[in-house]
Structures are given as C-alpha cells and as structure tokens.
A and B are shown apart, each in its own frame.
Chain A
C-alpha cells in the first residue's frame, strides 16, 4: 500500500529535550516536505527536499533541522524544542519533479512541548 508513515504519532516532551520525528514513504517520490498545522493558520511549510542531499527552507524553518540521506526518509529534528513548537506536524511527498504535484500526506504527529 502506498503510504507516508510518520512516527511518533503523539509525543509530549519538555523544553530543550532533542527529538526527531521520522517520515518514510514507499512511493519512490523525489520530493518530500514538512508542515506544521496550527488553528487559524492552516499548514505552513517548514522544510522541503527535492531529492537526496537537497533540502531547502520553507516559510517557518526556525528551530528545525532536516536531513535527506536516503530517498525514502526525511526526518524532522528539533534540537531544542520550545513551547511555541507545540503543533500538529505533517510530512508529505510527491512526484513534484514531474510537475504532477499532488502531495501525499502522512497521518500527522501531534507534538506537545511543556
């Protein structure tokens, strides 16, 4: 089954404790991206990756890091989480390189930073 898998789905952590949210897709998509969803703000792009070892900032990259060492994986790293990073996070992938464009989303990871 074609899917984007995120882990963990739910996480409560404390300020400053490094964490990683994993994202994996099995559709051989070149493009992957991370978003955060906040009430009234919709989805905002954090980082995106056009292919292995190619990443770039979205609209709200502060406080986040990413890496793309393999095509299928695109982890989101919070080196020192703060309460304002409490949010619902989505990973997505697509065949954007072919200008097809529709994004396939994971189920989301709800993060609470105390």
Chain B
C-alpha cells in the first residue's frame, strides 16, 4: 500500500535549537513529496516540495527537507526553531498528482 509514516506524534524543542520532523514513505514508483503546516483552526499551508533535482529543498520560513531515496525519507528540518513554528506538520506524497497520501501529522512544540 502506498503510505506515508510520521513516526513521532509530537516533537519538543527549545527555541533556538535545530528541529527535525521525520517522514518516511513507501516505495512505489517515483515519489513527489511535500510538507504542509497547519495552525489551529486553519487549513494546511504549503511549506516545500521535492519534485526532481537537488535532494535538499528549501521552503518557506527557513524550513528545508532532504530527499533520501535509499532510506525512503523526507525529513523536515530547520536550523533554529522559533516559538511561532509551533504547529501541526504533515508530510504528503503523490506518485501521479491525482492521489495524495498524507501522514498522521506531527505536533511541533517550540518552548521559549
């Protein structure tokens, strides 16, 4: 089955420290990978995507992610976390731009 796994329900990090939110996907063709962020009572907002090319992609608000084909991972990273980064983060994959598969979400808590 095509799926995305976010193994951590919650990630806690202190402000100013680096953060990582993990995502792995099941292999079935060429994946196109995305990260979205959801703030309370809002819809999801696009952060970044990997379509092709450089495995390290940079996105909004200083976030970046690295596509690792051998480990089937697409972890979200940021060098220095902000309290305002606290939100719910979703990884998503598509293989054909028709069906999109989302992970279960990871709640990021950044403490002052």
Interface set of A (CB-CB < 8 Å, partner B) = 4, 31, 33, 35, 40-45, 48, 50, 56, 58-59, 90, 92, 94, 96-97, 99, 101-108
What's the Cα separation between A106 and B102 when bound, in Å?
Answer: 16
With A105-B44, A105-B45 as known contacts, state yes or no: A99 contacts B51, CB within 8 Å: yes
Max chain A C-beta neighbours (<10 A), residue from B6, B32, B100: B100
Measured between beta carbons, the chain B residues less than 8 angstroms from A102 are 34, 46, 49
Q: Which 7 A-B pairs have the closest CB atoms?
A: A105-B43, A96-B97, A43-B102, A42-B104, A102-B46, A42-B102, A105-B44
The binding surface of chain A is classed by DSSP as strand
Contact B103 A103 (CB under 8 A): no
Interface set of B (CB-CB < 8 Å, partner A) = 4, 6, 9, 32, 34, 36, 41-46, 49, 51, 90, 92, 94, 97-105
Contact B99 A41 (CB under 8 A): no
Contact A104 B102 (CB under 8 A): no
What's the Cα separation between A29 and B5 when bound, in Å?
Answer: 29
Contact B102 A44 (CB under 8 A): yes
What's the Cα separation between A59 and B44 when bound, in Å?
Answer: 19
Partner of B97, one of A42, A43, A56, A101: A101
Partner of A42, one of B32, B34, B94, B103: B103
Measured between beta carbons, the chain B residues less than 8 angstroms from A33 are 100
A-B contact pairs, 5 of them (CB 8 A): A31-B97, A43-B44, A103-B36, A103-B44, A106-B43
What's the Cα separation between A48 and B98 when bound, in Å?
Answer: 7
Max chain A C-beta neighbours (<10 A), residue from B32, B36, B43: B43
Partner of B105, one of A42, A56, A97: A42
What's the Cα separation between A99 and B32 when bound, in Å?
Answer: 10
Contact A90 B44 (CB under 8 A): yes
Measured between beta carbons, the chain B residues less than 8 angstroms from A96 are 97-98
Measured between beta carbons, the chain A residues less than 8 angstroms from B45 are 105
Contact B44 A40 (CB under 8 A): no
